[in-house]
């Protein structure tokens, strides 16, 4: 995209009223894969012909499942109409919408410098003056939005875009409430994803007496996030993920940079633990005091307004000798107001087909039927012996990044897949092979089990399943887990969503080995922590719940799942099957579950008519410290004795 002589993109000169709001059929894609991926959306690069000129655009598609309930998209279209009236040099314009999927996609100008986080990563030698100017521009755009009574709602290092001249543009403003409305299955922590590091603590506050919706996003929650950005724009290169704003700009580190998992970050936020002061000359005493004001609690009512932030930055700019020749203060708006089904036979398929099934698998729909924390599941047909079998194809969600290591990653991926292809057990979902055509990397092909995941199966059969049928399901999971561990395979993500039910009502374990697989594809995949849906089954040791956060610490090493952590999850599965309800079902919000885990609170004792004293004691044994939990043999023996 061309840059004008003044350093601003030419898109700033376009009269948005001349661009129709509905751009369906007028955008041509330029990439096979998204250029960026988030928790609930993907960014695609495209071209729009406007008045005989080619404009490079970004198309933001909100991910939605084929089987989701229909929703009213009127609020999104109304907001886009409002956003098209905005005009500010530090606010990214919105051109319109594009109907190419189940939900409208947003069309905006393409900004060639990438996100603020990426920009600072590439330009770690930015001077204090340059960092200060970036903050002024972000603040200027935020003041403009607040003057229009628009709450950004998700201000972080990923929602601020940079051009190659160092100009900043606020993007994704006002979008989070719409996403939460369109994707009602998302909790706030899931929708925010890695942006939780910038989010104001009050958004996650949970009353002991209620599990109602989180507090509304506000102008003050934006100020908290700005304080985090101010910290990051700083003295050394930062990680590739987006975090808090004011702190980010000055220190060069993302907030809570010593903590990898977003669940752990959410925990320390709930404990009112703030990031430590970074040891860098960029963060002066005056800056640090102001950042702490931005981070003050909502109840203290001490956070500055956007105009106060602008006044502070303008005043401190003279103290650091900044000229800011490109910044027009006179006109700045910032200073204004199983048994296996007979339909398939694993031995026959593996004997007669290679592990690469490309060409034999055809998807039924372009939209996934389900999405997990790192991939999408499609329903497809697999042609074998003149018969068409229904299969599930799980595609790892990737984006277009050229790190020069794609071939090596595919090689590591296939090496992991070869291990899975050797597994053969009645309670472990078999892998037929892999197929291309569902993304950048091979997608995994497995049988389609019509009864679906355990959680939805129990919801449908809650009043009809007998005690014996429930114990059979528990025994199936126990035997499947014992088999995996005997093959040195740790599941790592066992929950009610990745135990699948066959047509005959028997259980198969799926999605095992996730951690190993994602490690093989590191930097090319979108991953989230267990907040993406498995938190309620996750062993506490995988969440770093008992940690002290210090800015002087090294980055915390990643804790890998172990057989004992799988046993903890098995205890949660056992509770779910016997009661028909997910763990902590009385806490609808994940934030409350995480708080309970941080306090050492286990799920409440269910009625004795559902879970006997003996069964409850065994479940509690699964939740003891890792070195005291039962073995694989113990869980199999217990379930067999219960059935006997």
pLDDT for the residue 383: 82
pLDDT surpassing 50 at residue 241: no
pLDDT for the residue 580: 96
Q: Which residue has the higher pLDDT, 440 or 584?
A: 584
Other residues' Cβ atoms within 10 Å of the Cβ of residue 556: 16
pLDDT for the residue 525: 46
Task: Say if CB 568 and CB 618 are below 8 A apart.
Answer: no
Task: Say if CB 134 and CB 113 are below 8 A apart.
Answer: no
Both structure tokens of 393:
């194809």
Nearest one of 391, 373, 394, 371 to 381, comparing CA atoms: 391
Phi–psi pair at 339, nearest 5 degrees: -65, 145
H-run or E-run covering 393: strand 387-396
Find the range with the poorest average confidence among 43-52, 84-93, 208-217, 237-246.
Answer: 237-246
Other residues' Cβ atoms within 10 Å of the Cβ of residue 2: 10
Q: Which residue has the higher pLDDT, 546 or 220?
A: 220
Under the banding of pLDDT at 50, 70 and 90, the label for residue 57 is very high
For residue 341, the SS3 value is coil
Question: Which residue matches tokens 């970036």?
Answer: 134
Both structure tokens of 338:
């199983």
Under the banding of pLDDT at 50, 70 and 90, the label for residue 334 is very low
H-run or E-run covering 566: helix 563-579
Both structure tokens of 420:
């899975």
Question: Which residue matches tokens 């009610």?
Answer: 496
Q: What confidence tens digit (pLDDT) does each residue in 251-285 have? A: 556 677 777 667 777 777 767 778 777 766 667 78
Q: Any alpha helices (H) in 187-257, and if so which ranges?
A: 188-192, 219-232, 247-251
For residue 420, the SS3 value is helix
Domain with CATH 3.30.200.20 in the chain: 12-110, 341-448
Q: Which residue has the higher pLDDT, 90 or 5?
A: 90
**Cα separation values, 317 from 131, 348, 482, Å:** 11, 73, 63
Ramachandran region, residue 148 (left: φ > 0; alpha: ψ -120 to 50; beta: rest): alpha
Domain with CATH 1.10.510.10 in the chain: 112-238+249-318, 452-549+557-643
pLDDT surpassing 80 at residue 633: yes
pLDDT for the residue 554: 47
For residue 109, the SS3 value is strand
Task: Say if CB 484 and CB 428 are below 8 A apart.
Answer: yes
In CATH, which of 1.10.10.10, 1.20.1530.20, 3.30.200.20, 3.40.1190.20 is domain 341-448?
Answer: 3.30.200.20
Rounded Cα distance between 573 and 521, Å, is 29
Ramachandran region, residue 120 (left: φ > 0; alpha: ψ -120 to 50; beta: rest): alpha
pLDDT for the residue 527: 44
**Cα separation values, 55 from 4, 9, 28, 231, Å:** 14, 11, 11, 34
Q: In the CATH scheme, what architecture does the domain 112-238+249-318 have?
A: Orthogonal Bundle (1.10)
Q: What confidence tens digit (pLDDT) does each residue in 180-237 have? A: 666 655 555 555 555 777 888 877 766 555 445 555 688 988 998 988 888 766 433 2
Ramachandran region, residue 605 (left: φ > 0; alpha: ψ -120 to 50; beta: rest): beta
The 8-class DSSP code of residue 168 comes to E
Nearest one of 231, 264, 258 to 117, comparing CA atoms: 231
What fold does the segment set 452-549+557-643 form as a domain? Transferase(Phosphotransferase); domain 1 (1.10.510)
CATH of domain 12-110: 3.30.200.20
Under the banding of pLDDT at 50, 70 and 90, the label for residue 12 is low
Q: Which residues contact 376 (CB under 8 A, 6 or more apart)?
A: 63, 368, 370, 394, 395, 397
Average pLDDT, the chain: 78
């Amino acid at each position: 995209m061309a840059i004008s002589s003044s350093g601003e993109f030419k898109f700033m000169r376009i009269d948005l009223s001349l661009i129709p709001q509905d751009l369906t059929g007028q955008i041509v894609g330029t990439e096979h894969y998204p250029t960026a991926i988030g928790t609930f959306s993907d960014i695609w690069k495209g071209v729009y012909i406007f008045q005989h000129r080619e404009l490079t655009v970004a198309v933001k598609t909100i991910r939605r499942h084929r089987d989701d309930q229909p929703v009213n998209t009127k609020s999104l279209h109304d907001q886009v109409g409002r956003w098209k009236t905005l005009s500010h040099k530090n606010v990214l314009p919105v051109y319109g919408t594009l109907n190419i999927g189940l939900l409208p996609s947003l069309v905006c100008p393409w900004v060639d410098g990438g996100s603020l986080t990426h920009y600072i990563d590439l330009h770690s030698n930015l001077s204090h003056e340059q960092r200060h100017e970036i903050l002024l521009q972000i603040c200027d755009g935020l003041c403009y939005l607040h003057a229009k009574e628009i709450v950004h709602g998700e201000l972080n290092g990923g929602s601020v875009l940079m051009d190659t001249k160092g100009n900043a543009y606020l993007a994704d403003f006002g979008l989070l409430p719409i996403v939460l409305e369109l994707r009602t299955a998302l909790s706030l922590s899931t929708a925010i994803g890695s942006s939780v590091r910038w989010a104001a603590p009050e958004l996650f506050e949970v009353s002991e007496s209620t599990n109602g919706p989180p507090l509304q996003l506000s102008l003050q929650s934006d100020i908290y996030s700005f304080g985090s950005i101010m910290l990051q724009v700083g003295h050394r290169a930062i990680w590739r993920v987006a975090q808090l704003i004011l702190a980010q700009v000055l220190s060069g580190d993302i907030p809570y940079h010593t903590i990898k998992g977003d669940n752990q970050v959410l925990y320390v936020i709930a404990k009112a633990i703030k990031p430590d002061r970074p040891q860098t000359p960029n963060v002066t005493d005056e800056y640090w005091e102001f950042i702490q004001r931005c981070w003050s609690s909502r109840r203290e009512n001490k956070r500055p307004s956007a105009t106060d932030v602008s006044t502070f930055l303008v005043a401190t700019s003279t103290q650091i000798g900044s000229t800011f020749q490109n910044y027009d203060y006179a006109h700045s708006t910032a200073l204004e107001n199983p048994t296996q089904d007979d339909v398939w036979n694993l031995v026959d398929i593996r004997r007669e087909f290679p592990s690469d099934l490309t060409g034999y698998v055809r998807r039924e729909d372009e939209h996934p039927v389900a999405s997990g924390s790192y991939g999408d599941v499609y329903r497809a047909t697999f042609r074998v012996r003149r018969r068409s079998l229904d299969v599930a194809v799980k595609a790892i969600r990737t984006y277009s990044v050229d790190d020069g290591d794609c071939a090596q990653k595919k090689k590591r991926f296939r090496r992991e897949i070869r291990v899975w292809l050797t597994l053969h057990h009645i309670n472990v979902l078999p892998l037929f092979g892999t197929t291309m055509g569902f993304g950048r990397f091979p997608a995994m092909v497995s049988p389609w089990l019509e009864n679906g995941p355990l959680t939805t199966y129990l919801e449908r059969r809650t009043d009809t399943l007998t005690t014996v049928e429930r114990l059979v399901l528990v025994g199936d999971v126990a035997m499947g887990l014992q088999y995996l561990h005997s093959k040195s395979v740790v599941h790592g993500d066992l929950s009610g969503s990745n135990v699948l039910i066959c047509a005959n009502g028997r259980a198969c374990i799926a999605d095992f080995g996730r951690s190993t697989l994602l490690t093989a594809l590191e930097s090319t995949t979108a991953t989230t922590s267990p907040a993406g849906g498995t938190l309620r089954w996750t062993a506490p040791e995988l969440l770093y719940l008992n940690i002290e956060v210090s800015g002087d610490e090294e980055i915390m090493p990643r804790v890998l799942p172990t057989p004992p952590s799988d046993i903890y999850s098995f205890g949660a599965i056992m509770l779910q099957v016997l009661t028909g309800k997910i763990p902590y079902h009385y806490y609808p919000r994940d934030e409350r579950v995480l708080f309970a885990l941080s306090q050492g609170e286990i799920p409440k004792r269910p009625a004795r008519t559902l879970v006997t004293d003996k069964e409850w004691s065994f479940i509690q044994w699964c939740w003891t410290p890792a070195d005291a939990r039962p073995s694989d043999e113990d869980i199999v023996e217990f379930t067999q004795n219960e059935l006997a």
